Every structure is written in C-alpha cells, then in structure tokens.
Amino acid sequence: MGTAVQNTRVESFETHPDRYKHWNLRVDGDVATLGLNIPEDGALRAGDYELKMNSYDLGVDIELQDAIDRIRYEHPAVRAVLITSDQPRIFCAGANIKMLASSTHGFKVNFCRYTNETRGHIEDATATAGQHYIAALNGTASGGGYELALACETIALIDDGSSAVSLPEVPLLGVLPGTGGLTRLVDKRKIRRDIADVFCTKAEGFRARDSKKFRLVDVTFPRSKWEAGIAQLAKEKAALNPARTSTGIEWSALDITVGEDDSRTYSAVSMTMDDAKRVATITINAPSKPAPSSAQALRTEGAQTWSMRAFRELEDALFHLRFNYPTVGVVLLKTQGDMDAVLAHDTALDSFSDDWLGSEIIAFQARVLRRLDNTAKTLFAIIDEGSCFGGPLFELTISADRSYMLEDEDETVTIRVTNASDGRLPMSTGLSRLAVRFIGEPGRTEEVLAMNTALTGPDAFDEGLVTMAPDDIDWEDEVRIAVEERVSLSPDALTGMEQNLRFVGAENCDTKIFGRLTAWQNWIFQRPNAVGDEGALTLYGHPERPSFNWDRT
C-alpha cells in the first residue's frame, strides 16, 4: 500500500446525501438547512472513539464539504443556508478529542487544514455565490462548533439560560482553536482584543446575554420564539441576494481507478507514486472534446465540462496526497496534450464568466489552486515535451516552488499566459500569482499579460516566468539532481520555508489561518504540554490534571 499510514488512511473523499451519516440536507425554495445529527457510533475510524455531543471528525467534514458544493451547484436558487443541530440542546462540541488524541501528528495537522478550507468554502459561497450562511445555534457551541459558526455570516444563539458559545482549547486542551477561531474573532467580527483574551481562556464561554453584548453572536431568541425567529431571519437574509438561476447541475461522482501500486487515474488527471524516491507525479491532461460553444452548452455539460472536471479531480488527488502519503516530499506537476484545446476552454470559460455556472467554475478553479498553495509538499512544475501549461494550467507553474522548462531545438515546448492569470484565480492573499511573482517589479504583470504569445524555455526564463530552462543535454540530470537534493532536506524545515515564501504580501484573515495558525498548531501538537503522557490533550476526560513545563519560549 505504499507509504500510506494505515491507521489514519482515508479511502474516499467523495460522498452523496443518500450516504450522509451526520448531516441532513433540506432545501425549501431559496432556503437550505443543514442539520447536524452525529451518531455516536458514526466515527470515520470505527471503534477508535465515539462522537458524543455532536462532536465531529474528518468524516463529518467530508460530508459538509459535499453539502456546500451541492448547494452551490445543484441548488443555485438557494440564497440562505441555515446550519443548525437536529439534536436538542446541543449544537456542536467541536472536534472529537479522543479522535485527535489517537491520531498521528500529520493527521491532526491535515485534519485542521481540511476543516479550515471547508470553513473558508462557506465564506467563499457567501462572497462569490451570494449564499448567506446563518449559524442557528439551538444549543451550546464549543470549540470547533463555535468556529463553524464563526465561518457563517450571521450567528444566532438560543437564549435558554444554559446554551453558550466558547473556545476552550487553551484552558482545557493546551492547544489552539484549530479552525480559525482566534483570527475570525478579531479580524472578522472585530472583537476587542482584551475581550477575546478573556473569552478564549474562559472554558465555559459566554451565554446569550454576554455573547450578544460582546458581538460573539448577532442575535438571540428565547426558546419560545426560536423557530419563528430563525425562519424570519432566513427569509430576510435570502431576500438580500436575488437568485441567479433556478436550475442547477448534477454534482456527479468522479470516475476514479486505483491501481495496485496506489496510482490514481481519473478522466483528466493521474497521480503516481515513487515510494523509494518519496516523489509523486500529478499529470493533468488537456481536454479531448471541443470547448462549449455557449453558456447553455456549458450548463448541459455541467460538472463534466473539462474546466471543472479536471480541477475536481486535481482536488481529490490533493486530498489523498495530504492524508495518505505523509512521506512523499516532492510533487512533480505535469501537463500533457493539446495547448490549443486548453486555451479554447479557457477562452470559452472567460466569455461565460457573466453566466452563473461560468463564474462558479472560475471560483472553483481558484479554490482548488489555493488548496495547492496550502499543500505541505514541495511542488516542482516540469514543463517538457507534450506539455500544455497555458491558461489556468499556467497557474500551476507559478504555484510551484520551482519550475523547470525544457529548451528544445524544435521550440515546441512552450507556455502561454492568458487573462486567467490577471487576478481571476487569486491566492489566499487576494493577489494574483503573477502579482506575487513580480511583487518588486511594478508594471511587470501587465507587460507579461500583454504578450499573449507562446514562450519557449529561453524566453520564459528571460521573462522570469520559470526557474530554469536547461537544454536537452542537461535536462534529465538537472531535474533528477534537483529532486534528489530536495528530498534529502529536513521535511520540517522545508514546510516552514515553503509556507513562508509562498504567501507574499500583506496578511489577511486567510493567510493568518493557513500560515500563522497552522505553523503554531503544528508546533503545539508536538509539545509535551499538549500531547505528552501528562499533557492536557492526552489527559482530557481523565481525573488527573496535566503537568506543564512552565518555560515560556
């Protein structure tokens, strides 16, 4: 089974509402409801832990990710989404502590990264799809449960004398809230820093009155008026954004073949592993069918159109790479096929950007590329014979930590920059990857975009668009040596280095969550104060109190 860690291996990141164990998806006109109802015996790793008090594991979030996608693409008429609990007097107790305590370090970090991205997807649905998310907290929301609420645009809490919101990770577990809670308190909800400090060290949190006073929630309703109040709130929020269309597309299952060597073959993407070298290769193939000729043709193709299908497959490959192959250090990004076909689909998608599905596909591509940016592996783009790094696929070359482009005598190996790189597919910083690349060269981004021509290796190197452009004599040795050198370095140092270098520019909420939070949580998850034999996370739920090393570092 290659280098996968058996006790935390995830077999599939795909699901369907018919197979949901933890969420109930209900759609009523322009309002959708996601009801959380987690069975105690519904753990992803059955038998390892129980999901008590609506606490969640990765399986819960895989379903949530699927539900968010389905609401966007199958139900675009939905304007408001209620996230609530179908269990009485409890919204969500957050991430399951025994699940975290029994997981490998890498799984913990990747679990937090996945949940962070899912919360970001909620915010993106509000920002780019006009779907207003409302957290309807019909009971206590603690830890990751409140962090889920923080991702929503509006938070309502029941005022029943006992329900509260809290972030108890620091006082109870010796770790940080892992899903952006600290950042969203002060950056998104603009909570005063001293109040946030009190809140994050007060294990029991705040009940309705104080939560409303300090803007931890937006509105409260007594139990007698809860259902009517939430229904009216959803109606008002839905009316803020008119629906773009009433008919969605089918969010169809991916076509995947898994080989005995753990290779994964999709319709447009393939991923292979070289365990001995600790290297994975992801190849994206150019479209084999003509680009859709109209917005209606795009809707007819739906999720099967290449512009969406290829990026859905890339996303799935990244999920497996993160969770199931922790020792893979270098990922080689390749493309193969007809450059003109890629550019034709890119041009068509750009021309349909005013159509609801065209804009949604562009938003999806941007999201997947941000997942690539956030993947803790070295990324090398390999541009050689038969490559088609143009349009949105050119973004792979400047997402990569380095790019190697073959200088061939026939000048058939080229790259092509289009307006897919003009900010249409922004990074977490909000900047385009070209803007990040030329952060110290004002005007260069516009100059490169204006070229609108195929560039050979030497030309691309001169323009600063690739790292190196060896000729065919040196090509194999240059790439081989670069990969061998990279996998010989400390993976911890590389992760820290890469994440620092990738996010150029001013910080924002997202970069703090994926950079600062992930880095500190990565460190804390390895510290004895959290995960040692007498650490807070290890002893949670036991009568013994944790024993801390009191040194501040």
> What single string gives the DSSP state of each residue in 78-117?
--EEEEEESSTEEEE--B-HHHHHTS-HHHHHHHHHHHHH
User: Does one domain contain both 189 and 267?
Assistant: no
* Per-residue pLDDT in tens (0 to 9) along the chain, 553 residues: 334 334 578 999 999 999 999 999 999 999 999 999 999 999 999 888 999 999 999 999 999 999 999 999 999 999 999 999 999 999 999 999 999 988 999 999 999 999 999 999 999 999 999 999 999 999 999 999 999 999 999 999 999 999 999 999 999 999 999 899 999 999 999 999 999 999 999 999 999 999 999 999 999 999 999 999 999 999 999 999 888 888 999 999 999 999 988 899 999 999 999 999 999 999 999 999 999 999 999 999 999 999 999 999 999 999 999 999 999 999 999 999 999 999 999 999 999 999 999 999 999 999 999 999 999 999 999 999 999 999 999 999 999 999 999 999 899 999 999 999 999 999 999 999 999 999 999 999 999 999 989 999 999 999 999 999 999 999 999 999 999 999 999 999 998 899 889 988 888 999 888 888 888 888 898 999 999 999 999 999 899 999 999 988 7
322 assigned to some structural domain: yes
Among 478, 493, 508, the domain-final residue is 493
CA angle 417, 422, 423 (to 5 degrees): 135
Is 280 in the same domain as 201?
A: no
- Considering the domain architecture, whether residues 162 and 116 belong to the same structural domain is answered as yes
Question: Is residue 534 included in any domain, yes or no?
Answer: no
Q: 282 and 225: one domain?
A: no
Report if residue 10 sits inside a domain.
no
Do 48 and 166 lie in a common domain? yes
- Whether residue 23 is found in the same domain as residue 80: yes
Backbone φ and ψ for 78, nearest 5 degrees, come out as: -65, 130
Residues 280 and 427 in one domain: yes
Claim to verify: residue 90 and residue 157 sit in the same structural domain: yes
Look at residue 524 and tell me if it is in a domain.
no
Whether 550 is in a domain gets the answer: no
DSSP string for residues in 323-342: HH-TT--EEEEEEES-HHHH
* Residues of the domain holding 408: 257-493
| Same domain (yes/no): 198, 280 | no
Statement to judge: residues 192 and 297 lie in one domain: no
The 10 Å CB-count burial string (b at 16+, else e) for 284-296 is: bbbbeeebbeebe
Judging by DSSP bridges, how do beta strands 330-336 and 414-416 pair with one another?
A: unpaired
Residue 494: both structure tokens together? 């590389």
Say if residue 112 is in the same domain as residue 178: yes
Q: Report if residue 81 sits inside a domain.
A: yes
pLDDT of residue 506: 87
Domain boundary among 493, 518, 534: 493
Answer yes or no: do 323 and 201 share one domain: no
Domain count, the chain: 2
Does residue 505 form part of some domain? Answer: no
Residue 243 lies in a domain: no
CATH code of the domain in which 473 resides: 3.90.226.10
Residue where a domain stops, chosen among 443, 477, 493: 493
Per-residue tokens: 485: 């050198």
Do 146 and 165 meet the contact criterion of CB atoms below 8 Å apart? yes
Residue 435 is predicted with a pLDDT of: 95
